Chain A
Amino acid sequence: MDYTLLLIQVLNGLQLGVLLFLVASGLTLVFGILDFVNLAHGSIYMLGAFVCASLTYALDSYLLAVILALPIIGIIGYLFEVFLARPLYSRDHLDHVLGTFGAILVIDTIAHLIWGPAGIAIPLPNYLDGQIKISENIELPTFRVLIIIVGLLAAFGLLWLVNFTRLGMLIRAGASNRTMVSALGIDIRTLFAIVFAIGATLAGMAGMLIAPITEASLGMGNNVIITAFVVIIVGGIGSVKGALVAALLIGLIDTLGRAFLDDFFKIFMSAAAAENSAPAISSMSIYLIMALILSFKPNGLFPPKLR
């Protein structure tokens, strides 16, 4: 076994994991606290990528574009809550799914009209476009290292916000017992809108971080949303800590599966059979893990107490 390759792949898995966390954290907050199923969360992620791409070309600076795009996405998230999500809260989950699925179609088509079908590649400044030498034979693209650092900072920032601030206390209280929180005189509407905007900003940020790697493209959010749902279900709906642990777990399993499964299969089957079965098995690996975890912990790894 080549340990440097293993280490590189673990770092790659970590990078995928933190991106998944940024998307999943907003989803789990909205699902856990507002009891609202938001399929269109992935569309916000896509909008983040496109808005950032346009701003990068307009301002000629990726960093400035990200700084400016974050509040824009936050505002879009806030407006989404006020005009689309709020009227649906009192209805059941099926209506949430229908309403937000409609929103996906509308947002995708608007994006198609504004930015065209081609997708936009985001150029990175030179100091982010190179590689970092971590040791003698470990070299990683600078930008991927940046994603890991920014993603982990955002993750711990969010954990701090939820666990150690007054706003976080209200959020956790809202997750446990919504009626009681509003009975105690908290403006639950504003609280919900803030939670929604935070979630949207984080998803948008994930889109901005992935776009220089895969480019901003239509439907990119629909790919990530399924995996994000897997993450929040494995982590326990409503738990930010659970989302972090599950996102890193899923990111690592997916990456390591793609990297090493065919070599592993070759130990006990023919090379041709291993080459054919490994891609199929690795693309379903995260669902196998989900099934496994749910059979032991039906509410996920860290379900919030007292629902």
Chain B
Amino acid sequence: MKKVLAAIIFCNFMVSSAVSAEIKIGFVTTLTTPAAVIGEDMTNAVNLALEHLNGKAGSHKIEVVFGDDGFAPDTGKQVTDRLLKQDKVDIMAGYIWSHVLLASRKSVLDAGKILISSNAGPSQMASKLCHENFFSASWQNDQTPMAMGEVFNKVGIKSLYIMAPNYAAGKDMVAGIERTFKGQVVGKDLTKWGADAQLDFSAELAKAKVSGADGLFVFYPGAASGAFTKQYHQAGLKDLLPLYSVFTIDGISLPKLQAANFSGIVGSKVTQQWDPSLDNQANKKFVNDFKKQFGKYPSFYAAQSYDTINMIASAVTAVDGDMSDVAGLRSALKSANYNSVRGKYSYGNNNFPIQNFYLREVVEDSDGNWTTEVVDTVFKNHQDPFAADCKLK
């Protein structure tokens, strides 16, 4: 109901202020397949950001046109082309998946438009394929697992078994952990990914169990996370092989894991650049209003999408709605002069954030809901390892 109300208020704005420019943002996410659960969280956050902005950036109305990538690179590129050519959007944002972003980047950049990733951070786009018009509102893929590797060194984990999906981001995650982890990787499995992803991990878990590793590190985002965590639980590995993960246990999977009562997950630790418990004004407002409207904690996908819209709004205000002033937009975006829910951060030469990474723990909040809270800061103002390979200054 509130969403409808927000939409009506929003429409009123669109009718009433016809004088100023109207800014169209194309936002590509996943709205079908089981991964739509991520898309839903992102769409909610985008709509909340618009509501908080009263649908305006300065005096200019902003409108978001959503596109569905169907969890496939080819569909993602098609919908990107459609948003650019048919809907004539002024700026492109969104993108959950690294392989979708890699397939779509050329269409946007060749059209001379700004491209902002709300999630995916493939290593290629931080190094050789970096571009002055591409910005990340999230992180470079390797950074979060690098923080995890650092945690392993501190805790004293000597050997590790790794499981990740076989696609661009999965490979980055594995590379990231190997970059900082000083111990030995005793086994590694890359599993099939995409709309027909492999969800039964019996063979891999059996291998991990006999590998004798001190810990199991996984990256299974979206719907796969529930499936993986269940099977880990059913295989009785909890005491034998402690689970460490990135982008797997989050605001999306926790309510489901709680409903199925997988209590083994409480107390497990993950790394991230953002957390609902981060103490700043913007984050408090975002988390409280998100919980009020949608009845659950926002995920990091939601936080980054919320940031994306605010970041775009700050740039649109800076150029006073003149979207043809790409250089002006660029320098405004680069200054990161908006109230990010992760707190203050800056941009490196490759337009990826230089930011903190936190260690978070799964806890039960005062209402009995499972969520995460920050227990430690692993990296302060961390820059991704690819910045040096990017030609931009």
Contacts and interface: CB of A to CB of B under 8 A. Distances in A.
Interface of A: 2, 4-5, 8-9, 12-13, 15-16, 112, 116-124, 129-131, 139, 141, 143-144, 210, 212-215, 217-220, 222-223, 226, 255-256, 258-259, 275, 279-280, 283
Contact of A255 (B37, B197, B203): B203
Contacts, number: 121
21 contacts: A16-B200, A117-B31, A117-B36, A118-B252, A119-B37, A121-B226, A131-B234, A131-B235, A141-B235, A141-B236, A144-B234, A213-B200, A213-B227, A214-B230, A215-B223, A219-B195, A222-B196, A258-B203, A258-B204, A259-B204, A275-B190
Main secondary structure of the interface of A (DSSP, over half): helix
A119 B255 CA distance: 12
Contacts of A283: 192, 198
Given A215-B227, A219-B34, 13 more contacts: A8-B206, A116-B37, A117-B39, A118-B223, A120-B256, A123-B261, A141-B231, A213-B227, A217-B34, A222-B196, A223-B197, A279-B192, A283-B198
B381 to A, nearest CB: 33
B207 interface: yes
Nearest to A254: B203
Contacts of B252: 118
Contacts of A124: 234
Given A118-B37, A141-B236, A222-B196, A214 B227 contact: yes
Contacts of B261: 123
Contacts of A4: 210
Interface residues of B, number: 41
A9 B206 contact: yes
Given A131-B235, A212-B230, A213-B227, A218 B207 contact: no
A140 to B, nearest CB: 9
Most chain B beta carbons < 10 A, residue from A116, A118, A218, A259:
A118
Contacts of A129: 233-234
B202 A144 contact: yes
B51 interface: no
The 5 tightest CB contacts between A and B, nearest first, are: A117-B36, A214-B199, A12-B202, A217-B34, A121-B260
Nearest to A4: B210
Interface in B228-265: 230-231, 233-236, 252, 256-257, 259-261
Nearest to A57: B259
Interface in B177-210: 188-192, 195-200, 202-204, 206-207, 210
Nearest to A117: B36
